Chain A
Amino acid sequence: MRNVDVVIVGASLAAAAAAKRTVDAGLETVILERKELPRHKICSGILSPRGHRFLLENFGPLPRETLHEPTSCRGVTFHFPCRVEMPMDFFHGTTPHLHRKYSDHWAIQRSGAEVHDQTSFAGLEDKGDHVIVHARRGGEPIEYRARQVIGADGPSSLVVRAVYPDYTKQIPWFFVGQKFHEIIDCPLSPDYFHFWFHPGLGHYTWSHARDGRQIVGVGFKRGDNFAKKHQVVEQYLKDKHGVHLKPADDDHEGCAENFGPSLINRYVFGKGNVLLTGQAAGFLNMIGEGMSCALHSGAISGEAVVEAQRRNRPVQEMYRRMIGSEVRRCSDQWNPLKIAFDRPHEADFPEALMKLSWRERKMVLRDMWNFIVLFKEFKWGRQIAAAALQRPLLGGYPVQKWL
């Protein structure tokens, strides 16, 4: 049995950030990855400015192979059924269009941690002062003894299931899929990430350029039909935006998403010596960008491990006290009071709104409301309102709601 200070499950950006902190502090750190690195990752790859800053400050300048073409993204364009478009540039200039297969591998290598790829997490036992991690490599069982374990294995986290077996049944699940099309004619600007507030298209509809093709992405409640949903969006783009695309290539892809915990402050941070971070913990920024909060929450989980070991305090106590800043950052983006009176996002929605005529503003707000109504069935409204009201009173979001 291998005896280490920290085992991190998943070779993601959150894992790289956590490993960076623990390795820097001199802790022996092993990262377990199910696939062989570099591995494919389903993702738009449009990183927010804050995530870009984190990568630069912690891992250095991004090599060319970590980026798709176009290498950068200027901002986000919102589209509404009323046909109004709202392009919004990011506050801090263009941001990278990450090729997750290589950017994740690069960050993991830069973290300095030891990586055991093709090693699947199979379970864990928290013994109080250490954790036994069970894994499989090439079909053979393998065990690790670690002082702490960090689960950074994404929305369908096996570590979450190991710690909270019922959690996955308690939250609504979505399916997010994307298809890649050769372009015949596409008037949508390749400099922007395009997002549709259109209830008829689904819960999460986006498109952007990548490596000479156009991505058409759809998100919907799990159980619906990907092909049908995609067809509706493709037709809509053709009819309303003049986007002419060839039939989708064969390399379409999709995954389950736990969209929701960051809206209603229902994060899951682990138990005992097991910490959960990144999207496994429920972090997801508005417009579905999860990389920047994965980097920051991952780093905080690593810091918490270091702090706990140095101060001889329970790691959960450290983590839950330190993670508050990231919870505020993330949940503020969904907080209607923050959106109305502050600037929680990294592009200026209020300014873009004010550039529109009164008539257009009215139509946009009406369309946004109609889009929000699409989420009515999840009964998040009261929880979001309660969290928004508690935010100024508590200076943060109530920790009692975290698992």
Chain B
Amino acid sequence: MAPDALQGIVRQQTNAARWNGAGWREFVADLRSAGVTLAEGTAATGIYATDAGGTAYSLPHGVLVARNAAQVATLLKVAQAHRVPVTVRGGGLTTEGESVAYGGVLLDMTGMSRVLAIDADAMTVRTEAGIYWHGLAEELRRSGLDYLSAPLNMTSSVGGTLGVGGIDVNSARLGCSADQALALQVVTPTGEIVECSDSENVELFQRVILGYGQFGVITEATLKIRPYTPLSMHYYYYSTLREAIEDLQLLDANDASDYSGILTIMDCAVNLLVAFDSAEREAAFKAHWERRLRGHGEFGFALCMAGHYALRPWKLGEALYLFKRKQAVFPEFRRPEFHRDGRMEDRTVVFSRAVWKHWGSRNMVIPDLATSTDKFIEAVERGNAVCRKFFPHYTLYCVGIRLRPEHKAHYEMSCVPPDAEGWAYGCEFEPMIEDAVYSRDHFQSFKNAIYDIGVDLGASYYRFGGMMKGYIRRVFGDALVDKHLAMKRQADPAMILNRDVIF
């Protein structure tokens, strides 16, 4: 019996072997003679030792902070010739070590962070791709404009997000962040600078969007934008995940709100948030949909919880945690400096502050599942059971993602599950690490247990880097993965760009 006859654990090496540095000095010299100098030594490389996940550590041999597309093209040409791996990093918000360089070159894109042109008539913006969404928002809002959707996070970059998906609380209406890209400037793995869109270099555009950085480095992007509006927020509280998800899907299917999402404290307090850009939309919601929601207001839910825990005194610890959490988190979403006339002025800042302050820790361990609408409740309930098994406290974050039929080609082998029609639904499973220290193995076991649900349900994984190398063949099958691998080999003969993320 051959070793591959071992059944059951269909896996690949996911913790990449460190590149051995063969030919590094010659590569550095060639690059220098081409006008590009790398920063070397631990003082330069040490700050890139890990990503937001904080479980994968390694150091690149050298670092280049990107300044322009020509410089990136030179780097990739010379790296291709010397077979030196290049790992691209934007905000470094990957959670599985995808933006950690296991040797080779770390290309830091945050040096390319200028907004190049805002066209208020065509409602588009052209920007360098290393800019953080928050920086882009600052520029746009001076003109009363806003991006369509972006991760609720201060330090995720435009380029990184377009490469993996990106979700917002308005994704159920406006789609994932990657769907707002109209055109890109891409440096291919062989060092050509190419403009691509749905009408120009179409295939490259399809592969780069949601392509996990395999087919090129995004250096500039043209994005759709919209007029900026503050939000009016409403919160509804549930004690079961199922009811909250059913109501979320009801609102999404009927276009009843502009923003919607679920944020929970474990599975005990489930918060459905609903928000609106305009008074008209809000009034229509109140007239037609609010009464159909089964959630309670804050006071009513507090009474329900008091009754629930009065009958279950052995769950006093859980009740105290909920209360403590409520006292800490709720005011963050109502801070007066971000509210005017009862409307939230800047959801990115409000949510990002709260996320980093109350959810963040040294380890961002956020496995996720993206499923079609009908499989979503089962996925969340099974994932919730896994969270309960591994951690005392955790949170779930669920949103719908409107799919665009004309972008079906973009979605192939991406975070969008193959069987999703109309909407995909995503859930992040995030343990509250607090002051505890867990081993990487504990986190890995937890993530495996969540990802195994995805394999079982035929789901996919969304957001930052959930697409683990070890799962991609199990989810999409050999035929599709081999098709993309062949394309990758053609585009990147030395397989230097973002190794070990997918292939």
Contacts and interface: CB of A to CB of B under 8 A. Distances in A.
B442 interface: yes
A302 to B, nearest CB: 9
Contact of A318 (B58, B436, B437, B441): B437
Contacts of B23: none
A325 B15 contact: no
B2 A299 contact: no
Interface stretch (B5-13, B338-346, B477-485): B5-13
A323 B45 CA distance: 29
A52 B14 CA distance: 13
Nearest to B57: A25
Contact of B58 (A25, A64, A71): A25
Contacts of B441: 54, 296, 299-300, 325-326
A228 interface: no
A93 interface: yes
A90 interface: yes
A171 B9 CA distance: 37
B442 A72 contact: no
B262 to A, nearest CB: 27
A198 to B, nearest CB: 30
B33 interface: no
Nearest to B16: A24
A26 B17 contact: no
Give the secondary structure class of B's interface: loop
B14 A57 contact: yes
A62 B3 contact: yes
A359 B50 CA distance: 58
A71 B392 contact: no
Contacts of A223: none
B429 interface: no
B165 interface: no
Give the secondary structure class of A's interface: helix
Given A53-B11, A56-B12, A71-B3, A26 B437 contact: no
B1 A20 contact: no
Interface string B1-45: 111111111011111111010000000000000000000001001
Nearest to B11: A56
Contacts of B12: 56-57, 60-61
Given A70-B1, A72-B1, A395-B392, A58 B437 contact: no
- Chain A contact-residue range equals 35 or more
B286 interface: no
A26 B100 CA distance: 12
A296 B444 CA distance: 11
Contacts of A24: 15-16, 18, 56-58, 102
A395 B57 CA distance: 28
Most B CB contacts (10 A, CB to CB) among A25, A62, A93 go to A25
B59 interface: yes
Contacts of A307: 437
Most B CB contacts (10 A, CB to CB) among A20, A24, A96, A299 go to A24
B57 A310 contact: yes
Nearest to B468: A57
A9 interface: no
Contacts of B5: 71-72, 94
Given A60-B13, A112-B20, A310-B57, A325 B2 contact: no
A58 B56 CA distance: 12
Given A24-B57, A322-B437, A57 B49 contact: no
Nearest to B448: A53
B9 A52 contact: yes
B394 to A, nearest CB: 14
Nearest to A52: B9
A220 B295 CA distance: 63
Interface string A66-78: 1101111000000
Contact of A71 (B1, B42, B59): B1
A59 interface: yes
A214 interface: no
Contact of B3 (A49, A54, A61, A306): A61
Interface string B290-313: 000000000000000000000000
Contacts of B440: 21, 299-300, 303
A246 B66 CA distance: 71
Nearest to A72: B6
A95 interface: yes
Contacts of A387: none
Contacts of B6: 52, 62, 71-72, 93-96
A40 B57 CA distance: 32
Contact of B439 (A60, A64, A72, A300): A300
Given A25-B59, A94-B8, A306-B57, A59 B3 contact: no
Nearest to A92: B8
24 contacts: A21-B440, A26-B42, A52-B6, A56-B11, A56-B470, A57-B13, A57-B15, A57-B470, A58-B14, A61-B4, A61-B13, A63-B3, A69-B1, A71-B1, A71-B5, A92-B8, A93-B6, A93-B8, A96-B3, A299-B441, A303-B439, A303-B440, A325-B438, A395-B392
The 4 closest A-B pairs by CB, nearest first: A93-B8, A93-B7, A26-B59, A325-B442
Interface of A: 20-21, 23-26, 49, 52-54, 56-64, 66-67, 69-72, 90, 92-96, 110, 112, 296, 299-300, 303, 306-307, 310, 318, 321-326, 395
